Structure 1
């Protein structure tokens, strides 16, 4: 009976985190889906929209390390609940403002609100899932970063068709608030004796000096930390490119309407979700056969990123509607595998009490990729009148990421 209750709590915790991840990325998609409507309403250029699309990633990046240190010291219940409330507030504000400057600041606020989710959420999953089943759980959780963008177009476009982009954002904010209440009411950490119950290594009373020296300072001195960070920057650059600019790219290259491009962009994102989930399952299967998880994870990331980079370069050739959709499905599947295994890698090279801090360092680099992808794509599209150069640049960044994962690691885990 106790095991059954434990499994139920495991699954409900994972389900709530996946739901939060989906809402997290639906939040991000409100600007992407409303892209051309907002540009027309406020008379914005592609370059200005590129800055707006990158606003969230700037504050998301800056917030990572302080949020990671807090996540290793605070429980997930109130910390994640508060972050969802902040996301709700910023989305509602987004629907009320009337200038590009104010949109920038509401998106920047959203970046702060979203920063804790995948750091504290990963720590929660480390508490609840044993190492041999953690890959699937983290893969499914990371898959929400693709499932959200897949669900967003039909959901958001339907709202926007009836009420406009402003009401679309307000409604998403209300859903965020509802999920925050459910999380705070339901979630509790595992109790003593349950699998992966929280370790007492850190507490909220741990000193700032200890946090900076023993955790952050130690991790920043390790080669593996920098290799994981540099590699994941490329992973997120490519995934962010497709999350932020895919509808506009389909509109321009395939001569589609806003609604057609928005709905069509959802289909490949489903394969990104499947890639995230399958990447995690693959990790668990390989680990259960005796292969070192770190080795299996690195090889999977290398192969998936190589495929993603090459396919992205191929898409720059504008192969036509049907070939483009086929290539996109394979590209985003490979991207999903890389996202899942790249994130899981962070839980394999450190002890539990440093998981959120390591992931925060890695995600700081990833956020740089998230900043640069929409910004550079918007600049290049404005300058050349085509998305081709931006896709070629993304291909090159992906290949650099492959080299970092393949050659950058020292081959040992950070256990001291």
Structure 2
């Protein structure tokens, strides 16, 4: 059973220097993570034109990353729990940055697909490792803000990506754009491995449940684990839908130029950062007031996904660009409000030694669902020449995710019974 951290009276605990350094590097890694992840979406049009790709083929490239990322979650969790989260995160950062840099040299769809798979494999340790590090190095009343800070870095990366990458795209071309952002990631990987060579002073031995394949597989017999995978799928499907296709939607459905879309596309992801911050601040405040941590995060996940789905539905009927942008900003604000608490729930409800394992399984299941978003959107676009059907599908998936948290996920994870 996970820890039931019910804190009635909590005094604010300041961060020590090692925590600040750790959080700062995780923050920067999160920004680079989503700059690299968003680059293909920003260069969607020029790449399709130069390599003669259909929307469905572009969707396949976008989905190749998320499928590789999702499947890599399965071994990543046990490896992080048994080995060092910091070492694996540094190695992953180096791998995904190398894949990004080499993307600038692709000549066809086969090499492109291979590098998208490597990008997914490299980025796979980021969230489970971050969750493990937060659980080990931060006390309960700090964790909500720590997780929110890491999550904010990802939407900040998504927010920075459209204007920054559009500028690089227009100035230097898409090939140089990939090479430059990959180089930045390699520099950060070197800094991470140099400055954080030590493992956390608080090391928890791996739990017996995760020591063998049989024990690891037993987690899949717990209904709540399926609830986490299906529920978080609603979060990641929505997030990946907008990451992959928002610039193209603005350019084709709203008639916006590439240059202008780069700035407009930043706004919803900045709204997502606000949603993450609100989620962490509100969760910590409720915990300080005496609420049970896991219950706080579960309720915020449900509310966030429902409101995101409603915002996405409203965007379909938006008569103007301003209204459409307001609805999309709301959709991403609320989905990232939910997503931050989804990670908060895992670290609160899971046994300490299984945090990364449960988090990676949650990520695996969710990305099997999210991987369909780019491909289905491209397929629908090729056949209907409109985005309405894709927006509707996104809203339905988010509502199904909320239902999963209501029906299958409770205020604790009964992992001791697996």
TM-score range, shorter chain: over 0.9
Q: Is 1:109 the equivalent of 2:118?
A: yes
- Give, in angstroms, the shift of residue 112 of structure 1: 0.3
Residue number in structure 1 paired with 2:108: 99
1:158-210 CA-to-partner distances (Å, cap 9, x unmatched) read 2112210001001111111100011011113333xxxxx222346xxx9x983
Structure 2: how far apart are the matches of 1:6 and 1:349?
A: 23
CA distance in structure 2 between the aligned counterparts of 1:249 and 1:89, rounded to whole angstroms: 29
Query: Partner of 2:227 in structure 1?
Result: 227
Return the alpha-carbon distance in structure 1 between the equivalents of residues 361 and 389 of structure 2.
30
Consecutive unaligned residues in structure 2, runs of 5 or more: 1-12
| 1:8–1:239 distance in 2 versus 1, CA, 3 Å | same
Query: Deviation string for 1:387-412 (max 9, x for gaps)?
Result: 00010111111111111111212443
Partner residue of 2:203 out of 193, 198, 206: 198
3-state DSSP class of the match of 1:290? Answer: coil
2:20 is the counterpart of 1:11: yes
**TM-score, normalised via structure 1 length:** 0.93
Question: Relative to structure 1, is the Cα distance of residues 190 and 61 closer, same or farther in structure 2, using a 3 angstrom cutoff?
Answer: closer
C-alpha separation between the residues in 2 aligned to 1:346 and 1:121?
12
Maintained 8 Å contact 2:77/2:359: yes
In the alignment, which residue of structure 1 is the partner of 2:211? 210
Cα distance, 1:40 vs structure 2: 1.0
2:44 maps to what in 1?
35
Q: Could you tell me how far 1:317 is from its partner in structure 2?
A: 2.0
Is the CA contact (8 Å cut-off) linking 1:313 and 1:392 kept in structure 2? Answer: yes
**Whole-angstrom distance in 2 between the partners of 1:238 and 1:55:** 17
C-alpha change, 1:6 and 1:264, in structure 2 (3 Å) is closer
**TM-score, normalisation: structure 2:** 0.93
> What is the alpha-carbon distance in structure 1 between the residues aligned to residue 38 and residue 385 of structure 2?
23
- Does 1 or 2 have the higher relative contact order (CA < 8 Å, sep 6+)? 2
1:283, distance to aligned residue in structure 2 (A):
1.1
Match of 1:194 in 2: none
Q: Secondary structure at the match of 1:268?
A: helix
Partner of residue 154 from structure 1, selected from 155, 160, 163: 163
The answer to whether the 8 A contact 1:351-1:414 is kept is no
Report Cα offsets for 1:317-371 as digits up to 9, x if no partner. Answer: 2431111111122111101101101121111221111011101110011111321
CA–CA distance in 1 between the matches of 2:307 and 2:321?
Answer: 20
SS at match of 1:254: coil
